[in-house]
Structure 1
């Protein structure tokens, strides 16, 4: 794997990271309501899921998933249901009114971190599009029988670092908008918008068909 290969993959991965998707929506929902630490916990969940998808792709298990219509449908619909469930919860919170980050007790903050990590993990782990990205990209930069698994994981590492930097910057930016974020009306509006967007992503995922 040459430097030019890594550079080309980095460009493709960067465009994917910057494109609108459920990760950015989740960060935008989490930080104003649960704080900066919860946003970084989301990102830790993202990265963990990428390594899971990367390992499955490198081992070839994801190919079986894509080739099996039943297995792919199960994962796809589970992911779609999960995104819709997050969206419905957000809409219900917007309807009822939600507490601000400053009103969350320290013990509850700790629980929120594990919950935020799990949200980030499941949002990506149950999204077969991540595996399909790796399955489509890896053959362009990996030579079967010549490239080691460790070298293949460099691509996963690059993708993960780009996600961490991009969404980390988003977390820091949103955390600085504390005055706006603490306004109950803003939080209810944000919850309503993100809820609708997550449901839209869930429905889009449910209708997704693999092309690999």
Structure 2
């Protein structure tokens, strides 16, 4: 494996770029709290580990090279993001209705839902598979077996993602007094809903890379 430290620096820069995973983590941290954000992060990291395994086993290459499979993942992922965006915006209409019951439901079911949202948002994004197959090979010596290098790089990327999300979630939690204000929540959740729909539409229009 070549230039591992360069790989780490590139990963950090890529992770800092906001995407659907970040939008979901922000939404769940603001609406549910630190637990919701951390559960979202766990879901995202589990999906990244699956993408890593797929890259190691060569499954990602099949998805990327197959126009049909790529399109299936792309449109399912796009529909899911748009669904989450619409659900977030629709939830703003009933934000002030039955607040106590809603909080109880969030405490009971919120963590499970947050994990699922983080997991599916990342897993159903074919651009992640494209990333693993186009980015990781650049740091492997020509002719070298890719099993261990891909495994190491995938684990590194997942670990760095987890660290960034933990920092970000705890930062949001520290300013929770401001973030928990009803007006602030409405603004941020409204923005997040629009952003998720935008990411979904962008993903739907994404062309397969062969």
TM-score, normalised by the number of residues in structure 2: 0.91
- The superposition leaves residues 24-83 of structure 1 with CA deviations (integer Å, 9 ceiling, x where unpaired) of 111211112111011011111111111111111111111111111111100000000000
* Residues 1:187 and 2:202 aligned together: no
CA distance in 1, matches of 2:99, 2:53: 38
Partners of 2:30 and 2:188 in 1: CA distance: 9
CA distance in 1, matches of 2:22, 2:63: 26
- Alpha-carbon offset, residue 114 of structure 1: 1.2
CA deviation after TM superposition for structure 1 residue 108, in Å? 4.3
Choose the corresponding residue for 1:32, options 30, 33, 36: 30
What is aligned with 1:104?
103
CA distance in 1: counterparts of 2:142 and 2:85, whole angstroms: 41
Partner of 2:9: 11
Kindly indicate whether the alpha-carbon contact (under 8 Å) linking 1:95 and 1:188 is maintained by their aligned counterparts in 2. no
CA contact (8 A) 1:88 1:199 kept: yes
| Aligned pair partner of 1:200 in 198, 201, 206 | 198
* 1:48 alignment partner in structure 2: 46
Q: How do residues 79-158 of structure 1 correspond to structure 2 at under 5 angstroms? A: 79-97=77-95, 104-105=103-104, 108-143=106-141, 146-147=144-145, 149-158=147-156
CA contact (8 A) 2:64 2:209 kept: no
The whole-number CA distance in structure 1 between the counterparts of 2:142 and 2:44 is 27
> What's the Cα RMSD here?
2.1
Distance 1:143 1:113 in 2: 42
1:178 to 2:176 alignment: yes
Q: Is the 8 A contact 1:93 1:188 kept in 2?
A: no
User: What is the CA distance between 1:141 and its match in structure 2?
Assistant: 1.9
- Of residues 62, 66, 77, the one that matches 2:64 is 66
How has the CA–CA distance of structure 1 residues 60 and 159 changed in structure 2, closer, same or farther, with 3 Å as cutoff?
Answer: same
Task: Give the deviation of 1:201 after TM superposition.
Answer: 0.2
Shift of 1:207: 0.6
Contact between 2:52 and 2:155, CA under 8 Å: does it hold in 1? no
In terms of mean alpha carbon deviation, does 148-157 or 126-135 score higher? 148-157
Any stretches of 5+ residues in structure 1 without a counterpart? none
**Contact 1:100/1:182 (<8 A) preserved:** no
Q: Structure 2 stretches of 5 or more lacking a match?
A: none
Q: State the distance in 1 between where 2:19 and 2:60 align.
A: 21
Note the alpha carbon deviations across 1:102-126, whole angstroms, 9 max, x for none. x723x74242111111100001000
Higher deviation after alignment, 83-92 or 27-36: 27-36
How many positions carry a matched residue from both structures? 209
